[in-house]
Structure 1
Amino acid sequence: MKKILAALLIVVSQNVLAQTTQKPVLHGKNWVAITGKPLAATAGAMTFQKGGNAVDAACAMLAATCTMWDVLSWGGETQALIYHPGQKKVFGINALGVAPSGATVDYFKDNDMEYPPAFGPLAATTPGTFGGIITMLAEYGTLSLKDVLEPAMQMAQGYPIEAQTANQIESNKDKVKEWPYSKAVFLPHMGEEREAPHAGEIFVQEDLYNTLKKLVDTEQKALSEGKSRKEALQLAYDRFYTGDIAEEIVRSVKEQGGLFEMEDLANWQVKIEDPLHVNYKGIDVFKLREWTQGPALLQSLNILENFDLKKMGYNSANYINTIYQTMSLAFADRDFYYGDPDFGQASPMEGLLSKQYAKERAKLIQERNVEDIGPGDPYPFQGGTNPFKDLLEKRKDALSYFEPENPISGLEDPFLEEFLLGTTTVQAADAEGWVVSITPSGGWVPAVIAGETGIGLSQRMQSFVLNEKLNPFNVLEPGKRPRVTLTPSMALKDGRPFLSFAVQGGDTQDQNLLQFFLNVVEFDMTVQEAAEAANINSYQMQSSFGAHESKPGAISLSTQTPPWVRNELKKRGYKMDFQERTSGPINAIWFDWKHGTFWGGSSNHGEDYGIAW
């Protein structure tokens, strides 16, 4: 018996030593499904088992995470990249809501606001996620809405709520009580010491279930009458955006002080777009367009091509300084030039993504951190003249800086909490070749629930600016999409999928995704090693939330950062804070074409979870 135990201990010890990451790599040959909650990953697996493709599974995971309030809900927004194996092309899905009627600069200024509020009915853009799901299913999926929504509907009837969400509701209950429909859903124990659900309690959302059932019933009735799959899906879409569901959303938003009108929902449309991309050392990297912050990652890669990163060494002082200042340059351009391309002058994306512009920006990187890095002038690099030079000169007067000696006091710091505002991610791929990367968000707790629909509304209006000196492309207008932080990613090599990756975390998203990509490409990490590896986070760019502050020179580092790196960075002017985990909650898929398999990486933060087969 002792010999058997000794042998088992040796085997266990060898296995522990062999695993270099906190989570194992997910290996699969048929499919892989990764998202922010274990139950939602199971919803993806269930959908694959029904015969669905990666698009069907991704939509099922998205529906489940919305139902679980995984820092988003059904009234939020959805941004996706989809690789179509038949066309060998990456498509972008723009399912971001818009500012409603009456949401003008003057309206908020007359109400003494410097930005639209962070919470409440006045923070809401029109719901986008349901439209995004319908569009993805209609264009690229195979299953019915009934099949895809089945896991979410079962969960709406009651699922055991996790401690993370339950505690978030409890800590925000005073805010929740301001909105009657939210209070009825979120606080089942009114008057008790704990009014939110307990961890593990069955959390029931009857109104949401009824809404989802109406949509499925609409589809199924249409199919029974001989309508095509696409026609049936469109009728469900119409019921949500122009029918009785839309009427209840608009009625309840007005009742609670919001600005929605029926035409705001009826006129809104999902857009299928060609994403932007750059080539980094033979790898084509794709991001959504300038209504997101995604192109900042592409600009960063263009700048970094001018440096030998591998020679610097992973997370050396030189490497960190170079990455930090590169991001400062790219995000300064984001802060001023990015916005909804359907309004006013188009952003100068040709110039911003040109290799020559990147070379000029790279020349600005110095040995010490430069705290006053501002936007560049990309217009000459696309053969034009900058029409906003006068605003560039006035921009600094409008910025909100916050520069205490100790810039960040830990994870409870309100500034940091806003900067890192999370969401969730969805990653899916299948043997047929479909690949999906989604970063949805909006409607996080505490959310305003729209009447008896059970749908929580987005808080994305706060990402607009009201002062054109800050960003002439992202000034609030009715019908306009705010520039968002949400940014799925995909990369192709030799014309085939190479990486699909996304992360939650507000303004840190493209910071962490940039470093994840470099970890794989420059430092030969596996997808799981790269997902867990320590990153840096910068707060030099303008926050997209709250008071839109920035903290020049502030940097978050891993607690494992060696003393000699800390000392060198201090000499270079950085104001440091330290956190145990700085990798960002990254979920990703790497494609092993040699063996015809998938490698899945699932974040070691929070509750991110993946299943592969």
Structure 2
Amino acid sequence: MPVSISALRPRRAAALLAPLALACAFALAPAHAADRIGGKTFATRSEVYAPHAMAATSHPLTTQIALDAMKAGGSAVDAAIAANAALGLMEPTGNGVGGDLFAIVWDPKTKKLYGYNGSGRSPRSLSLAEFQKRGLKEIPPHGPLPVTVPGAVDGWFALHERFGRKPMAENLAPAIRYAREGHPVHEVIAYYWNASVPRLSKWPGFKEQFTIDGRAPRTGEMWKNPNLAHTLEQIAQGGRDAFYKGAIARTVGAYFKANGGYLSYEDMAAHHGEWVEPVSSNYRGYDVWELPPNGQGIAALQILNILEGYDLKSHGFGSVEHVHLFAEAKKLAFADRARWYADPAFEQSSPVAKLISKDYAAQRRKLISLDKVLKEAQPATPAQLDQGDTIYMTVADADGMMVSLIQSNYRGMGSGMAPPGLGFIFQDRGEQFVLKEGHPNSFAPGKRPFHTIIPAFVTKDGKPWLSFGVMGGAMQPQGHAQILINMIDFGMNLQEAGDAPRIQHDGSTEPAGQAVAMSDGGELDLETGFSYETVRELVRRGHSVRFALGPYGGYQAIMVNPNGGYVGASESRKDGQAAGY
């Protein structure tokens, strides 16, 4: 039976169809166990072991910055801030001070997890009526309209106030130095930068501050950003208020007023993030922790809860049962994601506890058939629930503190809006609002949009076991679930679990845009490495299978070594590095 290749949707433009025939692509497996001494089928390299501290980021230089911070006496939080500030310079295709931040921190002193939601809100002067007056059905992905207040800088200072040891000026110093002196651009970053320039160059300030004579920097080419260096210096000297209430915020307000935007000085000055309680569900003896909405983290818990009812280990990795059951569980979780995940300040009845309960998972599991696909997936009804583009990095220090941190501008380089002289681009996270009255994620002034970026953490018997994440839009909860299934069900090590070929289901009802309900079962993207026999059987059961290049996310992880110290792993699909000392 031939395999169908579905056309990619416009919102997934980065997922380019490969030129090879699909049958050939799936037949090409990665390195086989017999090819390597370690016998690990999928691992591109060994895990990294270190006795004292570990950092895993999507850029080798920022990993070194994190390690330097801890060697100089900083905590894991100091190291994470230093690395994140530098990533905003070195990987502007994924993050920066114009974006939001979420984090989960394990504190060895209190033996507790702490969550921080550093997402910003919509402009208070912009209304749903304004979008309707313009005849818009969705918020545009670029320009001034999707811009929301950036929460990353506030997140740095909130984390630092509770868990930092070094002065913030020292934490920001490496990023400032690299911004002034320059650094060579890495390969994957150069690819995405080049893809962003044609889309964003028309917006004021982008071309002047993020191109070299109108083009993206090439692989290995030195890149400097003196404007960002100056912005970071102001933050280092004046604290968070230098960003939200000082000259930077006034420049921001004037820029948007002059360019058809709504974000104001007052919006910046009113921003505040918040500490939140992480939520968890147990998967085969492991407590998996995520942050509650307005993010999508609990979708990973819902997927795992549904899949816990199946013996995935006996089916084996890459089997048709493994892929089929994963896709069906994802569809059910994402139906609830589209209906129930929103800013809890506006949707206070969001039934998180019920959505991640085992009883509810058992109800949802009954909807899955082993031999055919779900064409539609309805969310839970209120009666059933009656009761409540991005970087990822993780750091662990010698005292046992572990940080799981994710930060993003959304859609790669964000909105394209780059205020003069500041050296950063604003996020376009507001695109995730729905322009329909009555929807939980409907646009409203001063509201946080549905968020895709999610950090994760796992404990075992009340002790830290794993800090990890998988960046990449709707791939994130799917990636979280797959990493844990790979480790817990299929016995893979930390590096192998990240390098193994991934599954991505696309086409579920979304909590954003026009929120069109899935009616055709969606599309199933399978990374190279799944057998053609599995693909053929998936098609026979009704899945629309396609080969997409690039949408499978970016993984970093640190695990506690039971023998002492840490184990690290870094994403083979990115430029990153895991390293320790």
Q: TM-score, normalised by structure 1?
A: 0.84
Report if aligned partners of 2:441, 2:511 keep a CA contact under 8 Å in 1.
no
Cα distance between partner residues in 1 of 2:194 and 2:482: 35
In structure 2, what is the equivalent of residue 251 of structure 1? 254
Aligned equivalents of 1:438, 1:353: Cα separation in 2? 22
- Whether 2:189 is the aligned partner of 1:161: answer no
Contact 2:105 2:401 in 1 (8 A): yes
What is the aligned partner in structure 2 of residue 500 from structure 1? Answer: 467
Equivalent residue number for residue 112 of structure 2: 89
The one-letter amino acid of 2:501's match is: A
**Structure 1 unmatched runs, 5+:** 1-12, 219-235, 385-421
Change (3 A) 1:178 1:563: closer
Provide the residue aligned with 2:161 in structure 1: 138
Q: C-alpha distance in 1, partners of 2:382/2:279?
A: 16
- What's the offset of the Cα at 1:348? 1.3
Matched, 1:65 2:72: no
Could you tell me whether the CA contact under 8 Å between 2:450 and 2:512 is conserved in 1? no
Whole-Å separation in 1 of the counterparts to 2:173 and 2:39: 37
Q: Using a 3 Å threshold, how does the CA distance of structure 1 residues 353 and 453 change in structure 2: closer, same or farther?
A: same
Distance change >3 Å, CA 336–CA 426, structure 1 → 2: same
Q: Distance in 2 between matches of 1:462 and 1:250?
A: 20
Whether contact under 8 Å (2:343, 2:447) holds in the other structure is yes
1:580-591 paired onto structure 2 within 5 Å: 584-591=553-560
Q: Please report how far the alpha carbon of residue 92 of structure 1 lies from its aligned counterpart in structure 2 after TM superposition.
A: 0.9
Higher helix share: 1
For 1:41, the equivalent position in structure 2 comes to 63
CA spacing shift, 1:523–1:257, aligned 2, 3 Å: same
CA contact (8 A) 1:115 1:465 kept: yes
Shift of 1:115: 1.6
1:211 to 231, 236, 248: 231
In the alignment, residue 438 of structure 1 is paired with which amino acid?
Answer: L
Cα deviation for residue 468 of structure 1 reads 4.4
Conservation of the 8 A alpha-carbon contact between 1:101 and 1:478: yes
Measured in 2, the distance between the counterparts of 1:196 and 1:323 equals 38
Aligned counterparts of 1:14 and 1:319: Cα–Cα separation in 2? 23
Highest Rg: 1 or 2? Answer: 1
Q: Distance in 2 between matches of 1:131 and 1:52?
A: 19
Contact 1:36 1:70 in 2 (8 A): no
CA distance in 1, matches of 2:392, 2:209: 25
Q: After TM superposition, give the deviation of residue 91 of structure 1 in Å.
A: 1.0
Give the whole-Å Cα distance in 2 for the aligned partners of 1:569 and 1:466: 36
1:381 deviation in Å?
4.5
User: How many residues are matched?
Assistant: 540
- C-alpha distance in 2 between matches for 1:345 and 1:582: 33
1:36-435 alignment, distance < 5 Å: 36-68=58-90, 69-157=92-180, 158-190=182-214, 195-218=215-238, 236-367=239-370, 368-377=372-381, 379-383=383-387, 422-435=389-402
Displacement of 1:332 in angstroms is 0.5
Deviates more, 1:556-565 or 1:515-524: 556-565
Q: Which moved more, 1:180-189 or 1:434-443?
A: 180-189
Q: Cα–Cα, structure 1 residues 373 and 14, in superposed 2: closer, same or farther, change >3 Å?
A: closer
Equivalence map 1:524-535=2 (5 Å): 524-535=491-502
Amino acid at match of 1:177: S
- One-letter amino acid of the structure 2 residue matched with residue 474 of structure 1: N
Contact 1:338 1:483 in 2 (8 A): yes
| 2:577 is equivalent to residue 604 of structure 1 | no
What's the CA shift for 1:281?
A: 2.4
Shift of 1:315: 2.3
Q: Which moved more, 1:442-451 or 1:425-434?
A: 442-451
**2:3 equivalent in structure 1:** none
Cα distance change of structure 1 residues 381 and 111 upon mapping to structure 2, 3 Å threshold: closer
User: Is contact 1:354–1:381 with CA below 8 Å preserved after alignment?
Assistant: no
Contact 2:98–2:426 (8 Å) recurs in 1:
yes
Distance 2:434 2:409 in 1: 18
**In 2 relative to 1, CA 581–165 (structure 1 residues): closer, same or farther, beyond 3 Å?**
closer
Residue 561 (structure 2) aligns with? 592
Are the counterparts in 1 of residues 337 and 511 from structure 2 also a CA contact under 8 Å? no
Q: Distance in 2 between matches of 1:535 and 1:169?
A: 24
The share of aligned pairs that are identical, in percent, is 31
Q: Which structure 2 segments of 5+ residues have no match?
A: 1-32
- Against the structure 1 CA distance between its residues 18 and 146, is the aligned structure 2 distance closer, same or farther, given a 3 Å change threshold? same
Q: 1:165 to 1:380 in 2, by over 3 A?
A: closer
Contact 2:475 2:551 in 1 (8 A): no
Query: Structure 1 pair 546/383, CA: closer, same or farther in 2 (3 Å)?
Result: closer
**How many Å separate the matches in 2 of 1:48 and 1:15?**
37
Shift of the alpha carbon at 1:579? 5.1
* Alpha-carbon contact 1:125-1:461 (below 8 Å) kept: yes
* Letter paired with 2:413: V
TM-superposed deviation, 1:75: 0.6
User: Residue 504 of structure 2 corresponds to which residue in structure 1?
Assistant: 537
Partner residue in 2 for 1:474: 441
Match status 1:554 vs 2:523: yes
Match of 1:404 in 2: none
